[in-house]
Each structure stands twice: as C-alpha cells, then as structure tokens.
C-alpha cells in the first residue's frame, strides 16, 4: 500500500493506493468524524463492492443509497435524492458521505456533501481507473446541466481517498481505456518522461499488469496532488488539467451525456488540441503523430464525431468554465510535456481542425 498526500494546510488528506483496501477498516475509520455514515453507490458497483465496504464500517451507524448508473443521472435531481435520504434519516452536520464508484458517483456525492447543511465530510472510494487517477483527487464536485457539462458545482475536498486497485479487475475494457486518457493527459501537460514511459508500457497497462497499473495510478495522483496543492481553486496552473476538455465537454454535451465516455471525449479533444497547437506553429507534427499513436494504442478515439458540425462544436465550446468575459481560452501544447493556457489562437483554425479531424473526413 502506498500513501500520497494532497498538501492543503489543515485540509490536507491522504490518498491510499493498493490492493484489498476497501474491506480494511483501518483506512476509513480515522477519517470519519461522527457516528453516522451514508455510502452512496450505483446499481452496477454496489453488488460488487458495497458489502465489503459496509463490513468495514461495522463500528458505525452506516446506511447506503443506491443510485441509477450513468452520466445522464449526474444531475441536480439525483443530488436531491441524496438530500431526501439524509433528511429522512436525520443525518446531521457530523455525518460522513462515502462515494463508492466511478467519477459520476464521486462528483454527485461530493457535491451533496459540499452543500448538505452547508458542508459535511466525505470520503472518496473510487472504483474506475479514471476516478483513481483524476476525479477522486482535488475536490472538484458537481453535476451537469442540459446546456453544459459540470456547470453546477463546488470545490469541496474529501477527508481521504481510498483507491483499491483490485476493483479495477471488474472494469470493462472500454472503461479502462477511458481512464488511460486521463493518465496520458498528465504526460502531455507536465511530464515528457512519463509520456515515453506510457509508450513503452501501454501493452502492460491494457493487460492490467498490477505493478504497471499501480505505478501509473501513483504517478498520475502525484501529478494531480502537486497541481492541486499549488492551485486548489483553479486560479492558474490547475486549468492545464483541462487539456482536451473544452473540445471533450462539447462532444459529451452535443452527443448527449453518456454516449461518449468522458475519457473518450477527452482523448479526441486532446488530439484536436494538439492538432490546433501544431497549426499555430507550436508542437511539431511528428509529436502530434506520436500522441495519435499512443491514444489509438490505448483504444481511444482520435476524431471528432461526424454528426456534430464544426459550428455546433464551437457554440458548445463557448459554454466552458475557462471562458473569461466572453473570451474562450484553451489549453494547448508547446511540446509533449509543456501545456499552456491561452486565448491566442486563430478561431478560423479551430473550425479548420474540427473539419479535418472528424470521423470519416
């Protein structure tokens, strides 16, 4: 078992990474304040792991709430179901919510915890690769709006993150690949050496070699923890974690939540960002090709969906949290391992890239 730390002063917290952690009470208990705990999960994950987690909570007054599965349920209506359950069962401000599931459950549960009685404790128990390398760390919580992805939310840090790598055994291949998109993202924005390591080790990752997967999770979490510690509320460099996300969120919203997985949309978005960066005279064409090769090797899409017009894309991209006073900003690449946030790109080039990098173009 490895422990990393997200250093945020008195709100610092550990990330535990290893096998067989869910059923071990020693990781949970020190981070639960009161007696009452509610585990929030979904109808796919609960049958697999809820009993194990509830057994580890035997010394607490713990209940569970099972939500429907899917990005389309990442809504305020679903958050309200959590509030209903908390109020019906008289949960007070000392209660703790535990999110057991992927990024959707983590984001919804974290937002409920951020807002119930103006904020209660919560713990992340991520069970997808994407959630273990990204969404469970850093305190971004929230839900989607029909007009924009993740548009309603709050920063609210968990008490701890318990990443049980054994849970990845039951994840299907498409979801594993979606998580690899966010792993590749850290190499692209911050760490050329890690990108090369991923090129060398992608086959082992796809074969779920435990040592290689754990290493990728640790390195990803270390990158995320460092960036969050430096810029918790995204006033500066944390925005770099959104590489590919402005394009990706447009795909998720435009195609209908849940059609493209978040990681898939981010993968295509990262290649679009790389291609635009090259068109602006920054990253080399040979490096764009390298990125495309690695994303494809990871089983990820590298083209925009053909059913969305370039103009529809750009309209959706303008609903983005990086827009300031109406000016769109994008995370683009100077090089592999060197991302920048900038508004100095040519909007006509964006339309050209969206036409060129389209399925069946």
Indicate which residues carry an active-site annotation.
118, 140, 182, 224, 234, 238, 242, 245, 249, 262
Q: In whole angstroms, what is the distance from residue 146 CA to residue 37 CA?
A: 31
- Residue 347, classified by CB atoms within 10 Å of its CB into exposed (0-12), middle (13-18) or buried (19+), is exposed
Phi-psi region of 119 (alpha: psi -120 to 50; beta: other; left: phi over 0): left
* Residue of 78, 96, 135, 253 interacting with ligand NAD (CB under 6 A): 135
The answer to whether 31 contacts ligand NAD (rule: CB under 6 A) is no
Contact stretch for ligand NAD (CB under 6 A) within 96-104, 204-212, 214-222, 344-352: 96-104
Whether 350 and 357 have beta carbons less than 8 Å apart is answered as no
Residue whose entry in the numeric block shows the structure tokens 């949309």: 265
How many residues bind to ligand NAD according to rule CB under 6 A? 29
Q: Which is nearer to ligand GLY, 140 or 249 (CB)?
A: 140
User: Measured at CB, which residue is nearest to ligand GLY?
Assistant: 241
Contact stretch for ligand GLY (CB under 6 A) within 63-71, 91-99, 113-121, 133-141: 133-141
CB of 66 to ligand NAD, least distance (A): 11
Residue whose entry in the numeric block shows the structure tokens 């949960």: 91
Q: Which is nearer to ligand GLY, 36 or 329 (CB)?
A: 329
Residue 234 per-residue DSSP state: -
**Cβ partners under 8 Å of residue 279, min gap 6:** 346, 349, 352, 353
| The two three-digit tokens of residue 352, written as one number | 């050209």
Q: Is 173 helix (H, G, I), strand (E, B) or coil?
A: helix
The answer to whether 164 contacts ligand NAD (rule: CB under 6 A) is no
From 290, 185, 197, select the one nearest 239 (Cα to Cα): 185
Q: Which is nearer to ligand GLY, 140 or 329 (CB)?
A: 140
Phi, psi of 157 (to 5 degrees): -80, 145
Phi, psi of 40 (to 5 degrees): -110, 125
Instruction: Convert residues 225-264 into a mask of x (bound to ligand NAD by CB under 6 A) and - (unbound).
Output: -------------------------------------xx-
- Where on the chain is the footprint of ligand NAD (CB under 6 A)? 42, 44-45, 48, 69, 71, 74, 101-105, 107, 127-128, 130-131, 134-135, 138, 140, 150, 167, 170-171, 175, 178, 262-263
Binding site for ligand GLY (CB under 6 A): 134, 138, 140, 238, 241-242
């Amino acid at each position: 078992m490895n422990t990393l730390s997200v250093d945020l002063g008195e709100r610092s917290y550990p990330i535990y990474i290893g096998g067989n952690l869910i059923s071990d009470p020693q990781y949970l208990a020190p981070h639960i304040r009161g007696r009452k705990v509610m585990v929030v999960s979904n109808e796919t994950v609960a049958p697999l792991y809820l009993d194990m987690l509830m057994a580890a909570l035997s010394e607490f007054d713990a209940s569970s709430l099972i939500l429907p599965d899917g990005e389309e349920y990442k809504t305020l209506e679903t958050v309200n179901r959590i509030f209903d359950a908390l109020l019906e069962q008289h949960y007070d401000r000392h209660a703790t919510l535990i999110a057991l599931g992927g990024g959707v459950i983590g984001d919804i549960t974290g937002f409920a915890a951020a807002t119930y009685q103006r904020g209660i404790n919560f713990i992340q128990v991520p069970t997808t690769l994407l959630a273990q390398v990204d969404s469970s760390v850093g305190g971004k919580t929230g839900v989607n709006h029909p007009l924009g992805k993740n548009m309603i939310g709050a920063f609210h840090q968990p008490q701890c993150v318990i990443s049980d790598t054994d849970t990845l055994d039951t994840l299907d291949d498409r979801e594993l690949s979606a998580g690899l998109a966010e792993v590749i993202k850290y190499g692209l924005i911050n760490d050329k050496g890690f990108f090369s390591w991923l090129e060398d080790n992608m086959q082992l990752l796809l074969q779920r070699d435990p040592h290689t997967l754990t290493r990728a999770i640790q390195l990803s979490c270390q990158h995320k923890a460092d960036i969050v510690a430096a810029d918790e509320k995204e006033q500066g460099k944390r925005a770099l974690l959104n590489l590919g996300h402005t394009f990706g969120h447009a795909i998720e919203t435009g195609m209908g939540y849940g059609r493209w997985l978040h990681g898939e949309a981010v993968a295509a978005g990262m290649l679009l960002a790389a291609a635009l960066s090259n068109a602006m005279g920054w990253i080399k064409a040979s490096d764009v090709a390298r990125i495309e090769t690695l994303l494809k090797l990871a089983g990820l899409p590298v083209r925009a969906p053909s059913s969305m017009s370039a103009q529809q894309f750009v309209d959706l991209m303008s609903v983005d949290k990086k827009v300031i006073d109406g000016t769109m900003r994008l995370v683009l690449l100077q090089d592999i391992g060197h991302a920048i946030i900038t508004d100095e790109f040519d909007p006509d080039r964006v339309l050209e890239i969206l036409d060129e990098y389209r399925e069946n173009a």
